[in-house]
Structure 1
Amino acid sequence: MEPSTIAAAPTTTTRRRKRKIVVIMGPTGAGKSRLSIDLATRFFENSEIINSDKMQVYRGLDITTNKITMQEQLGVPHHLLGAFDPTKSVITTSEFRKVASEIISDIKSRRGLPLVVGGSNSCIYSLVTKRYDPKSDVFNGPDPHPVSSELRYECCFIWVDVCLPVLNQYLSKRVDEMLDSGMFEELAEFYRSGEHMTVNRSGLGQAIGVPEFETYFRRMESSDSEEDVMGQGEAYDEAVRRIKDNTCQLAKKQVSKILRLRDAGWELKRIDATEAFRGVISGESGGARVAEIWEKQVVEPSMKIVKHFLEE
């Protein structure tokens, strides 16, 4: 390369800066969606949310996969939420990277702020790393591949964390609430209609709740005696127990992946939401005290972090 060519290269100040995005990560049930809506509706009104939960990208089983409802979205645009046909091939991390990056470009072209929100750290990793290799696995196995620290976006990582013993208590309570809200009926229709035979078993068919209730619904189909009816009750209780256990195991795995990214040098801003969840579990003051704790310990520090990031 000629010396004159080197001299003509753009300086640091004139070189095009990376696009800024905000990533809200954390284990299942930690309040990521709630925080994203708080930030988007109250502080950063040009925000649009990109779902990065690999089960919520598929259509169907909205209660079982715990998708944020239209009412809860409060008018904030959401992308990749129930966007893909669950009967087709599984959405790979490479496909997620391609589609999500196109959405980010579109949001930025309208001077919006992309908020990537979800618990699937493999999707987040595939999206933000500069040179993503789908054959590499940086999270699993006895000798995982090295984590890349070279990112293609300027990222503000908000890590919503909850002490695992407290989160586990909450997750058990949340499963009960989901069942009260129609999760069982949703799964019953899923099996009754035969939809469970058409969805990709490596995609939506893996959503927590689907495999756990399979034994129960098989018993229902073949029950013709009092003994079978009693067995149904036992199968139901066992399914609920397994859903709670598997949800807690998922949260633990998600935290371990986040810690791996942090230990590899990713600048994650940890927000501790434990006290708010303790309040939820104990039912403090009908929720008023919980809302106050959530505001002071989660929303306000997150808002300040994002504001500083955008002003830099």
Structure 2
Amino acid sequence: MRLSILQPQPQRCHHPIKRWPRMDASFHRRKDKVVIIMGATGSGKSRLSIDLATLFPVSEIINSDKMQVYRGLDITTNKIPLTQRRGVPHHLLGDVDPSLPEFSPADFRRRAAHIIDDISSRDCLPIVVGGSNSFVHALLVEDFQPDSNVFHDAERLISSELRYKCCFLWVDIAFPVLSQYLCHRVDDMLQSGMVHELAQFFDPEASRRTGSGLRKAIGVPEFDRFFNMYPPWAGPAGPGEDPLRKRAYEEAVRAIKDNTCELAERQMEKIERLKCAGWDLRRIDATEAFRVVLTSGSSNGSDVWERQVLEPSVKIVRRFLME
């Protein structure tokens, strides 16, 4: 199958479009169909969600990344820019006021469920995408217990009883390739203005307290330490010429890269636990597409991505919608 025959259609889900079996009013009384795209940070989940929503144009995307739900720090939290969303409606992406109490898995379960109900009631397809597995677990399981964390307790069983009819796409990348890519991505984010963004967000009082909400985003605590030594209002936010300042800056950058790779490892471990618990995760290997990006300098490795990631994903989703 060549994707050239799957030309994107211009219409979006502003009016009901009855296209797939069981995506109708009678089905809404049963379990709603939901596509869930999972994977470690940096694995291309957002890109795949946009590709799928373009090819299945009655789709809307629900963000399930616990840092991206907050408004602000768009570069630091790596939100997909509006110009790259191709007109696809997004929900819970920069919607939450960061000054409010921390947005919990229980909050996500409640808010995302309302959004899924609304999308499904219009005969459209919800696509949930993000790396926060605690959010995904909270949303999907029938018996959710907000006071417990199944990922913190290795002995605790994860339920396979889900309240939606789910199609899971697990975008996986060999960790050596992913970790190399994540380090390059941090460099790109720095070049895109991440330090300036963090300097504007810096609060010397808040930086001395335990972080919550958006202050937990990787990049904030690492650069808080730097800005406490070299306050942004005293001069440019970057490394400067002073050797000690430059060393402190490089330490902050190195900490961001290390912490990002550690986050990816934890996310991969959680996904493995969900699969072992009986969740029907369909693994899509994106390793080669990312290796092409790293070795060739290509911005996206489009040909390999389409062949090894997008095409199998399209087949899986199409079969799911025809069930």
Equivalent pairs, count: 293
Aligned to 1:86: 98
Displacement of 1:202: 1.2
Alpha carbons 1:126, 1:132 under 8 Å: kept: yes
Displacement of 1:188: 1.3
Alpha carbons 1:199, 1:205 under 8 Å: kept: no
Aligned to 1:210: 220
Displacement of 1:136: 2.3
Over 3 Å counting, the alpha-carbon distance change for 1:189 and 1:153 in structure 2 is: same
Q: Distance in 2 between matches of 1:44 and 1:279?
A: 27
Matched ranges for 1:246-257 at <5 A: 246-257=259-270
Aligned to 1:173: 184
Match of 2:144 among 132, 136, 141: 132
Aligned to 1:146: 157
Aligned to 1:7: none
Q: Distance in 2 between matches of 1:287 and 1:186?
A: 24
Over 3 Å counting, the alpha-carbon distance change for 1:86 and 1:144 in structure 2 is: farther
The runs of 5 or more residues in structure 2 that have no matched partner are 1-25, 236-240
Q: Distance in 2 between matches of 1:153 and 1:200?
A: 36
Alpha carbons 1:136, 1:145 under 8 Å: kept: no
Q: Does 1:219 align with 2:232?
A: no
Q: Distance in 2 between matches of 1:50 and 1:144?
A: 30
Match of 2:175 among 164, 167, 177: 164
Displacement of 1:229: 3.6
Aligned to 2:68: 56
Aligned to 1:188: 199
Aligned to 1:275: 288
Q: Distance in 1 between matches of 2:137 and 2:193?
A: 33
Residue identity matched to 2:223: F
Displacement of 1:72: 0.8
**Counterpart of 1:213 in 2: which secondary structure?**
helix
Alpha carbons 2:207, 2:221 under 8 Å: kept: no
Q: Distance in 2 between matches of 1:147 and 1:287?
A: 38
Aligned to 2:84: 72
Displacement of 1:216: 1.1
Over 3 Å counting, the alpha-carbon distance change for 1:216 and 1:197 in structure 2 is: closer
Q: Distance in 1 between matches of 2:28 and 2:299?
A: 49
Alpha carbons 2:69, 2:95 under 8 Å: kept: yes
Q: Distance in 2 between matches of 1:198 and 1:58?
A: 21
Displacement of 1:201: 2.3
Q: Distance in 1 between matches of 2:62 and 2:181?
A: 25
Displacement of 1:199: 10
Match of 1:122 among 130, 134, 149: 134
Alpha carbons 1:31, 1:160 under 8 Å: kept: yes
Over 3 Å counting, the alpha-carbon distance change for 1:15 and 1:251 in structure 2 is: closer
Aligned to 2:247: 234
Q: Distance in 2 between matches of 1:51 and 1:196?
A: 27
Q: TM-score, normalised by structure 1?
A: 0.89
Match of 1:110 among 103, 108, 122: 122
User: Residue deviations 1:212-231, cap 9 Å, x none?
Assistant: 0112111113989xxx9432
129-138 or 100-109: bigger deviation: 129-138
Q: Distance in 1 between matches of 2:167 and 2:42?
A: 21
User: Residue deviations 1:220-273, cap 9 Å, x none?
Assistant: 13989xxx9432111100000000000000000000000000011110000000
> Which of structure 1's runs of 4+ aligned residues deviate more than 3 A?
13-16, 193-200
Match of 1:266 among 253, 266, 279: 279
Over 3 Å counting, the alpha-carbon distance change for 1:276 and 1:196 in structure 2 is: farther
Q: Distance in 1 between matches of 2:231 and 2:177?
A: 38
Aligned to 1:305: 316
Q: Distance in 1 between matches of 2:49 and 2:205?
A: 32
**Counterpart of 2:69 in 1: which secondary structure?**
coil
